[in-house]
Structure 1
Amino acid sequence: MGVPISTAYNQWTQFEDFPKLMDGVEEITQTDDRHNHWKTKIAGVSREFDTEIVDQVPDDHVAWRTTSGDVKQTGMVRFEPIDATHTRVMMEMDFQPSGTAEKVGDMAGMLDRQVKGDLKRFKHFIEERGTSTGGYRGTL
């Protein structure tokens, strides 16, 4: 990404902005520094679930897990400086599909394509702005 690491990291911590950047994310409500409530609609299936930030270090990574709902997921996004004005953003997710449609979609690589598309939209958003809409710098 063509922004400094602190800009990319700060924007990633603005979870309530995710619906602007991620297909299928309808709403995120941040309830405190660690917890978020998600509403999604992917392939016509609506879901609500809660996530907890389990590890967060500014300008390095954010790791999460689901804590409620029928979505079982863990993940981590890492930030790596390339130079003073460029950042590499890498995401790892472990998602356990439920139901036939999700299992078929997972086998067809739909989740992988969706995550890659979401990261491209994040890149475009932050590069267009050149600055983050906010930022949380706490360590959890």
Structure 2
Amino acid sequence: MVEHSASVIVKAPVHQVYELFTHFNDFPKFMSFVKEVTYHDDMRSHWVVKVLGQYEWDAINEDWIPDKQIGWRSTRGLKNTGKVKFHALGPNRTSVDVYIRYTPPTGPLGNLGNHFGANGYFDASLHKDLANFARMVEEAPVGALDPMSSHYLFHEESAARKGDITPRQKAAMERDPMMSPQALSEREAKIAQEATLRQQLAATQATERQRKLESEQARQREQSEILAREAIKRQQEMREREEARRKAASIPLDPRHTYAAWAHGLGDKDGMRARIPNFAQDPMTSRRPRKPVISAKPQGEE
């Protein structure tokens, strides 16, 4: 058997993704290579796909686990089995992993498919339609559990839009109340109205963003002007202080204002005397010491 797999990340809760995927009969409305999915009952369905040739089979559901996994097994036609697993990556992110195994058809059609690289074409088709599923979910209203609520149904590449569906699929769609001309007309009108509302909302948001941007730019300009004025003021003050210091340094000292004059006024006689060189370093020995008085030698000493 040949095995294929594909994965996609869907920006939606796992329960919503699981529920929307189980609507097999809606696959032709947004997928390109699925031409028919009709139900025999709640467990059995009939499938028609077109990948380098048209293939059919009946399938029965098996190994279904709510919000986690669905599986199937063919009972007639192209022999195949498959599983789809759902993993919640977050509140609004779900990983969808598809695994398919099938036995290639024998005879000229199977040989022709192998010659033209049917396996690679099937992989590309599987990835493409899985991406279509992700977009269908993401363009459905929040919490919607019916694919008919999605705006992505009947896009230009879908089998239903191109008319590339089987008569049974067409008849099943015509029996669906949501596919009546009136229902489809109401759906299109609703989609157009919602698109207009989205455009208006986007325009309002763009205007608000522009207003905030202009307000922020004005605030930054005002702040820059304040900083520039403060810098000029500081420079002016520095120049004035420097000029004051320069002028003060150029004025000769008045002898009346020297330390000597001040000390003399206080009666400090030393204030008028020249200091010895080491006065500043050792004030205790700065005075000129008196000459020692040499006394006469005591009697009896030699």
- TM-score, normalised via structure 1 length: 0.85
Other-structure match for 1:138: none
Partners of 1:38 and 1:50 within 8 A in 2: yes
Residue-by-residue CA offset, 1:56-111 (whole Å, 9 max, x unaligned): 01100001111111x1211100000011111110111112221113323334x111
Which residue identity lines up with residue 132 of structure 1 in the other structure?
A: L
2:132 to 102, 121, 140: 121
Give how far 1:27 is off: 1.5
Question: Does the alignment pair 1:64 with 2:72?
Answer: yes
Contact in 1 for aligned 2:38/2:46 (Cα 8 Å)? yes
Name the aligned partner's letter for residue 97 of structure 2.
Answer: M
Establish whether residue 74 from structure 1 lines up as the match of residue 85 from structure 2. no
Query: Structure 1 residues 91, 38: CA separation in 2 closer, same or farther (over 3 Å shift)?
Result: same
Do structure 1's residue 18 and structure 2's residue 27 form an aligned pair? yes
Contact 1:97 1:106 in 2 (8 A): no
How many angstroms apart in 2 are the aligned matches of 1:117 and 1:101? 23
Structure 2 residue 139 is the aligned partner of structure 1 residue 132: no
What is the CA–CA distance in structure 1 between the aligned matches of 2:47 and 2:99, rounded to whole Å?
19
Aligned residue among 33, 48, 59 for 1:51: 59
Output the aligned Cα RMSD: 1.5
More helix by share: 2
Structure 1: 4+ residue segments shifted above 4 A: none
1:133 counterpart letter in structure 2? D
Structure having the larger proportion of residues in strand: 1
Q: Specify whether residues 115 and 73 from structure 1 end up closer, same or farther in structure 2 by C-alpha distance, changes over 3 A only.
A: same
1:75–1:93: 8 Å Cα contact kept in structure 2? yes
1:86 and 2:97 are equivalent in the alignment:
no
Which secondary structure does the structure 2 equivalent of 1:6 belong to? helix
Larger Rg: 2
**TM-score normalised by structure 2 residue count:** 0.41
Q: Is the 8 A contact 1:55 1:63 kept in 2?
A: yes
In structure 2, what residue type is equivalent to 1:21?
A: F
Return the offset for 1:25.
1.4
2:45 equivalent to 1:32: no
Aligned twin of 1:106: 118
Higher relative contact order (CA 8 A, sep 6+): 1
C-alpha distance in 1 between matches for 2:73 and 2:18: 19
What amino acid does structure 1 have at the position aligned with 2:127?
A: K
- Aligned residue for 1:3, secondary structure, equals coil
CA–CA distance in structure 2, aligned partners of residues 128 and 18 of structure 1: 15
State which drifts further: 4-13 or 94-103: 94-103
